Copies of this chain bind each other. A is one copy, B any other.
């Protein structure tokens, strides 16, 4: 063999698929990531992503924090750090969730590379191939993707306007036990301003869920990326506060500070935390030290709370704009949820329209994008006539235009059928 440094040489193509693990064959690309390619086109109005409004990013505060951290803490902030995360930030997070009635100490908190890494770590430590996960239908796409990589199966429960129908849990548990010989690995819940459904789980149902989980000895994943983005209505006690011993609570700075920092956190009992730390060590040693110092500095300056208030105001206005536009421009037969917070609403169209087909054949031609509902059904057994609409990213006038275009196209489609 000769050393060949020709940069233009033809590189042989290998059959990599034959080298891969069994689990890899079940991995697919996220439809949202694929849709992002379309939505890079600046002419397209995208309701597809889950992007925060970039004009609200605290760029000045990040700049100030970076200057402070680089100057005053550079040698530590740029060094390797503890797998558990940066202690002052863990202290801040533990204290800040006390107001939710969650009795956390820093040892209950692990910093992750965004909430998505928390979902991956959960899959890694809980899911054997073929193991079932209980969740709602629809449910969060990122969780489906994370756990499918560990060859999870999904058993789903219906959602209505109060969130997951928790009366179905016990039956679902026994069905899973019967089908697979094992209880479900856990139940996954998005209690506040559900992605994609926009619904909030009522207190009554949370209490019921806590009781059933305790009875069945079931672990609960409480994924709460939007909890602080409530526009109106009553705050509802988190599940973690009801059953802290069996809840794994997930939080994130992605929606309140900035997603580009990739900072989320897990709150759970110390006994389980040991396992998360072991798994996290193997995954990436630790979450970025520098961004943890920066986030900590921003938190300590006390600017996060007024900043979140501003985000709430702007997103509420955009939700109202979208709902008003839906009312004005969409066919009467359509309906949608009215989320009390968060980033998304869920819209249903008549059964004669398949939202997947409609996206490809009509909406994208009209230069509007959304995520077809079926992608949020892990067993693809629903959502064919629904879509997720994001209202946080676009300016109000763009929201009106996009909803109008979709409405016109829907009306035309219905008239033609």
Measured CA separation A62–B275 after assembly (Å): 34
Which residue of B has the minimal Cβ distance to A219?
B19
Within 8 A of B (CB), among A1-50: 1, 3-9, 11-14, 16, 19-24, 27-30, 33, 36, 49-50
A-B interface, 7 closest residue pairs, ranked by CB to CB distance from nearest: A59-B74, A260-B289, A5-B101, A66-B66, A78-B258, A63-B70, A54-B75
Which residue of B has the minimal Cβ distance to A119?
B282
Is A82 on the interface with B (CB-CB < 8 A)? yes
Which residue of B has the minimal Cβ distance to A68?
B63
1/0 contact trace for A309-330 toward B, CB 8 Å? 0000000000000000000000
A13 touches B291 (CB 8 A): no
Is A336 on the interface with B (CB-CB < 8 A)? no
Segment of A145-153, A379-387, A409-417 engaged in the interface with chain B: A145-153
Is A287 on the interface with B (CB-CB < 8 A)? yes
Measured CA separation A75–B284 after assembly (Å): 27
Segment of A120-128, A222-230, A345-353, A399-407 engaged in the interface with chain B: A120-128
Segment of A168-176, A190-198, A237-245 engaged in the interface with chain B: A237-245
A70 touches B79 (CB 8 A): no
Is A361 on the interface with B (CB-CB < 8 A)? no
A19 touches B149 (CB 8 A): no
Residues in A lying within 8 Å of B, measured CB to CB: 1, 3-9, 11-14, 16, 19-24, 27-30, 33, 36, 49-52, 54-55, 57, 59-60, 62-63, 66-67, 70-71, 74-83, 98, 101, 103, 112-114, 116-117, 119-120, 123-128, 131, 142, 145-146, 148-150, 185-186, 203, 207, 210-211, 219, 237, 241-242, 244-246, 254, 258-262, 269, 271-272, 274-275, 277-279, 281-291
Q: Quick one: copies of this chain in the complex?
A: 2
A288 touches B80 (CB 8 A): no
Chain A binding surface SS class: helix
Query: Separation in Å of the A209 CB from the closest CB of chain B?
Result: 10
Measured CA separation A23–B246 after assembly (Å): 21
Residue of A20, A142, A145 with most chain B CB atoms under a 10 A cut-off: A20
| Known interface pairs A21-B125, A63-B67; 4 further A-B residue pairs with C-beta atoms within 8 A, sorted by A's residue number | A3-B237, A14-B245, A21-B150, A146-B283
B282 touches A148 (CB 8 A): yes
Which residue of B has the minimal Cβ distance to A254?
B80
Query: Separation in Å of the A246 CB from the closest CB of chain B?
Result: 6
Measured CA separation A271–B17 after assembly (Å): 9
Measured CA separation A75–B57 after assembly (Å): 7
Q: A28-B278, A79-B51, A80-B259 are in contact. Are A244 and B63 (CB under 8 A)?
A: no
Which residues of chain B are near A246, meaning CB under 8 Å? 14
User: Can you give 20 contacting A-B residue pairs, CB < 8 Å?
Assistant: A3-B237, A3-B242, A11-B269, A13-B271, A20-B126, A21-B185, A29-B277, A29-B278, A30-B281, A50-B80, A54-B75, A57-B75, A62-B70, A67-B67, A76-B260, A113-B284, A114-B284, A120-B284, A148-B282, A262-B284
Which residues of chain B are near A142, meaning CB under 8 Å? 282, 285
Which residue of B has the minimal Cβ distance to A108?
B11
B244 touches A11 (CB 8 A): yes
Measured CA separation A162–B103 after assembly (Å): 56
Measured CA separation A142–B278 after assembly (Å): 12
Which residue of B has the minimal Cβ distance to A277?
B29
Measured CA separation A16–B271 after assembly (Å): 7
Measured CA separation A246–B15 after assembly (Å): 10
Which residue of B has the minimal Cβ distance to A211?
B1
B14 touches A282 (CB 8 A): no
- Residue in contact with A290 in the complex, picked from B244, B245, B283, B291, CB distance below 8 Å: B291
Residue of A59, A210, A271 with most chain B CB atoms under a 10 A cut-off: A59
- Residue in contact with A70 in the complex, picked from B3, B66, B149, CB distance below 8 Å: B66
Measured CA separation A287–B288 after assembly (Å): 10
Which residues of chain B are near A124, meaning CB under 8 Å? 21, 23-24, 149
